[in-house]
Structure 1
Amino acid sequence: MKSIVDPSKITPPEPTGLLDRPRLIERIKRNEAKRLTLIIAQAAQGKSSLAASYVKAAHRPCAWVNLDPVDSDPVNLFLAITSSLQQSVKSTDFSSLLSYPSVSMGPKEPALLFRDWSTAILDHITVPTLLLLDGLDQLPSDSPSFQFLSSFVEHLHPPLHLLVLSREVPPFRLEELRVKQDAFLLTNRDLAFNMDETRSFFLALRGIELSPRALQRIHTTTGGWIGGLVLISHALEAIDPAMREAFVLHSIPSVFKGHVFDYFTEEVFSSQPEFLKDFLIKSSIFDPVDPQIVDSLLDTNNSLQILEQCAKKNLFVQPGFGGKQGRIYRYHPLFRDFLNLKLNTDLSEDSKRQLLLKAGSACKAVGEAEEAIKFYLKARAYEEAALLIQDLGMQLINMGRTSVLSQWLNEFPKPLIKKNPWLLLYLSMTRRFTQASKNLISLRSALDLFEKEENISGQLLCIALLMEG
């Protein structure tokens, strides 16, 4: 086992090229008395940059460890931590700990062994010190290093404060720590740029001046995701300043989405297991994503667990409240666009149509008739859509939602509408105060069809509208 750690492993990044985040740094400072700070957010959300800015502003030594899979071995992790402390805390000699794991091995249970390792480190800390572990998600969830870190957190006390950066929620007793006011947590929502930060990022940092309308368009498209803002800024820097405003307002350029999609492919999607790729691609047809409906779509019963794991891993999946199970999820808009593109390129036309049909049936089964109609129309399953519209149409009209009904009817082939008296009736009612001559023709046709079907209620509605006309 090597006792010398690569210097790059214990060197913090320079906080350059990104905006200072005083509102977040101040929040971290206000919680320094707690044992633990966790910054848990998706890829390219500025975790390391924020931490580097905080360290630069801190008035105490900081030991930084850049984690990688090698640290799954708790001995390697112990050596990385002690080497970083040795380099950063000049007032204390940690050299005796650099060989400590090898001489402390023995018949002890791991829990007792890791307790001894933890107290050995903590007993050496005599001045206010920050220990920062960057990239905890690099360690497999079943890594024995997590047992060591759990023991370390359990025995952690001032003057040492631990700050952890990760894309995934670590297997610590996080809720218990938060209840005890021992942990402070920042997530995607906290790290996302607000409008003021978006404006400052483009103007002060990149020298790109944009109108409030253009900035709002960018902010809405990216959801404040820092990686997206950086990619857009690169795209804007490459074009004539006079063209930038139109470039943003008329369409988020395909070159930008191309860069984002390449990023998702390399950093997020390609490393996932095949079953999860398939799950994400097919479930992306929903927005929001209701686990119960996805279960029906994919013939499974664990969609809730899969989505919860994706949210914990920060795979651009955000939880929310709603749906039949009280829990819904949303994919980041750009990630959803990426998944939709994969859906359109990876599935045949027939497979896509079957998926849309099944999505319509899944929504119908849980009483989501409007969503079902949308999917049936996309699948060109007009008969199924017409049956639902027949039941729902009058309710929408009474609610004043004729524009929704009109939009659906416009997606039907005209010959199908002419054969269906209810669709003819609803079409007339959506243009009740316009196109009077067309309405009279449609209503007479609907009345004839209702008479052939001996449908009294339909006949009465047509007669009432004809009299009104």
Structure 2
Amino acid sequence: MLQLNTLLITKLLIPSTRPHVVFRSKLINQLQEVLQRKITFISTPAGFGKTTLLSEWAQQKHCPVAWVSLDKGDNDLIRFWSYLINALETLYPGIGEHTLALLHTPQSSSFEAVITMLINALMTIEEHFVLVLDDYHVIETTPIHDSVSLLLEHMPPYMHIVIASRTMSPLPLPRLRARGQLLALDATDLYFTTEETLEFFNQTMQLDITLDVATKIQARTEGWIAGLQLAALSLQRGTDISHFLTVFNGGHRYILDYLTAEVFSQQSEEVQHFLLHTAILNQLSEPLCNVLTGRENGQIMLELLEQGNLFIIPFDEKRHWYRYSQLFGDFLYNRLQYLYPQLVLVLHRRASAWYEQNNFMAEAVDHSLAATDFERAVRLIRRVGKIFEQNGEITTLLRWLNTLPEHLVCKEPQLCLLRGWGLATTGQLSEAQLWLRYAKKG
């Protein structure tokens, strides 16, 4: 089995729910149908609470649930399935051992053989279980969609998949719907009602608004959860309600820009410093945050942000790892780029060094490339490139090499060789021959 320290274990954890979260009984009841369908597909724009809803449902222990939080780095067929199989391993240790071995065999047989082996192993499970793929919209690679489609077509009867996405998907959803095997939820299902809005403001956010005000806010936001949270944070900081309702109009993007800027500007200098210095991260932990901020209060700040409902989501019950909600994280990164463009590169370099020291090499390379620290990236790829090739993570390897300036790759015979073999593996034979010749010249 692939060693888990080559993967980010936090991506396999079911996100924790906050205390006093609004219990959405109607939606939770709808999700009871998950065990009656092959696939549940939840598709809404950002900020509708898909992750919160699913984590709340998963933690009710209706059945074993495996979870993968996807990101753009998972657009590699081998890496994607490494995470998926290791997620299943958290429920049933050993269930994917042989499949992982086949997955990481150089020049292994067709990928259909990998899926077939996994399905046969999963057939031995005699209880209902669920696999959640969160943020599936980041997956843009056709072979991954094809492989998931293959799994959906031949899935064991006790297996169920739940997919959360901002966009629709090329998966065979119409065919599954026609067979009665699909449960689909969209934004109209996830909107907060007036009653839920009132409960959210008065219980979750500890405010005291009337039903009339809740009705007006719900109408203005159209029940958009991210907008409601931003509105509540604004009111918590003393904004006059009548004035707020006057200016609180327009579409979701206007609401987001206006309120996020307002919420950010009302934070202390210390909080703003922390938010901006950690804006480049997909996962936040105390030691990593301390490296980026240059301060030693990472855990205190993370807990402070969670207590203040500032769009931060804990990965685990012990509160060791967190992430920003995608909307808030996007805002912070854009703010950082606008205010301190040179700091962006510095922070990526710091993150790369931390990830290398802690043996998360894919993240170390990604941050070095984001920092345009190409010499460091070359050194890291020389160190781990062969391992990624042997593991079959060719897409990741080629993405790194394609990001590097071509003249740097040409000067490195090892990188030329890796690029040549990677291109050959993906069927780009004429270009592969060119890079293999470069390798011989070196």
| TM-score normalised to structure 2 length | 0.53
**Residue 26 to residue 105, structure 1, CA distance change in 2 (3 Å):** farther
CA positional deviation for 1:33 = 1.2
Q: How far apart are 1:258 and its partner, in Å?
A: 6.8
Unpaired stretches in structure 2, ≥5 consecutive residues: 262-442
> Aligned residue for 1:125?
125
1:175 equivalent in structure 2 = 174
Amino acid across the alignment from 2:97: S
Superposed displacement of residue 264, structure 1: 9.4
Task: Tell me if structure 2 keeps the 8 A contact 1:65–1:81.
Answer: yes
Q: Cα 1:117–1:224, aligned 2, differ >3 Å: closer, same or farther?
A: farther
Query: Which secondary structure state, in structure 2, belongs to the residue aligned with residue 127 of structure 1?
Result: coil
Once the two structures are TM-superposed, the CA of residue 107 in structure 1 deviates from its matched residue by 5.1
Question: Greater CA deviation, 128-137 or 207-216?
Answer: 207-216
1:203 is matched with 202
Q: How many angstroms apart in 1 are the aligned matches of 2:127 and 2:194? A: 39
Contact 1:40/1:168, CA 8 A, preserved across alignment: yes
- For residues 245-264 of structure 1, what are the structure 2 equivalents within 5 Å? 246-252=242-248, 260-261=256-257
Structure 2 Cα separation of the partners of residues 236 and 264 of structure 1: 13
User: 1-side partners of 2:167 and 2:259: how far apart?
Assistant: 18
Aligned residue in 1 for 2:394:
none
* 1:156 pairs with 2:155: yes
Aligned to 2:48: 45
* Residue 90 of structure 2: aligned partner: 87
Deviation at 1:28, TM superposition (A): 1.0
| CA–CA separation in structure 1 for the residues paired with 2:253 and 2:212 | 20
Letter paired with 1:122: L
Q: Deviations over 1:367-415 (max 9, x none)?
A: xxxxxxxxxxxxxxxxxxxxxxxxxxxxxxxxxxxxxxxxxxxxxxxxx
Please identify runs of 4+ aligned residues in structure 1 that moved more than 4 A: 256-259, 262-265
Distance 1:120 1:215 in 2: 52
Shift of 1:61: 1.4
Structure 2 residue matching 1:164: 3-state secondary structure: strand
C-alpha distance in 2 between matches for 1:263 and 1:118:
47
Aligned amino acid, residue 256 of structure 2:
V
Alpha-carbon RMSD across the aligned residues, in angstroms, is 2.8
1:169 and 1:250, CA in 2 relative to 1: closer, same or farther beyond 3 A?
Answer: closer
The amino acid of 1:9's aligned partner reads: K
Contact 2:43/2:185, CA 8 A, preserved across alignment: yes
Per-residue deviation, 1:121: 4.9
Over residues 142-183 of structure 1, what are the superposed CA-to-partner deviations in whole Å (9 max), with x where a residue is unaligned? Answer: 431111101011111321111111101111121111111101
Mapped pair 1:191 → 2:180: no
Secondary structure of the 1:103 match is coil
Preserved contact between residue 37 and residue 184 of structure 1 (Cα < 8 Å): yes
After TM superposition, the structure 1 = structure 2 runs for residues 333-348 of structure 1, keeping only pairs within 5 Å, are: none
| Greater relative contact order structure (CA < 8 Å, 6+ sep) | 2
Equivalent residue letter for 1:48:
T
| 1:33 maps to 2:36 | yes
Q: Write the letter of the residue equivalent to 1:46.
A: G
Contact 1:137 1:168 in 2 (8 A): yes
Answer yes or no: is 1:102 the counterpart of 2:112.
no
Q: Deviations 1:253-297 (Å, cap 9, x if unpaired)?
A: 99x9876126899xxxxxxxxxxxxxxxxxxxxxxxxxxxxxxxx
CA pair 133-80 structure 1, distance change in 2 beyond 3 A: same
CA deviations on 1:116-152 (whole Å, 9 max, x unpaired) are 2552453353332111101111111x43111110101
Q: How many residues are aligned here?
A: 257
- My pick for the range that moved more, 112-121 or 150-159, is 112-121
For the residues of structure 2 that align with 1:70 and 1:2, how far apart are their CA atoms? 17
Q: Structure 1 CA distance, aligned partners of 2:9 and 2:186?
A: 29
Work out whether residues 136 and 165 of structure 1, in 8 Å CA contact, stay in contact via their aligned partners in 2.
yes
- The alpha-carbon deviation at position 104 of structure 1 amounts to 8.4
Paired residues of 1:38 and 1:163 also in contact (CA < 8 A): yes
Identity of aligned residues (%): 23
Counterpart mapping for 1:302-313 below 5 A? none
Is residue 198–residue 210 contact of structure 2 (8 Å, CA) maintained in 1? no
Specify the alignment match of 2:75 in structure 1. Answer: 72
Residue type of the alignment partner of 2:84: I
The aligned amino acid for 1:62 is V
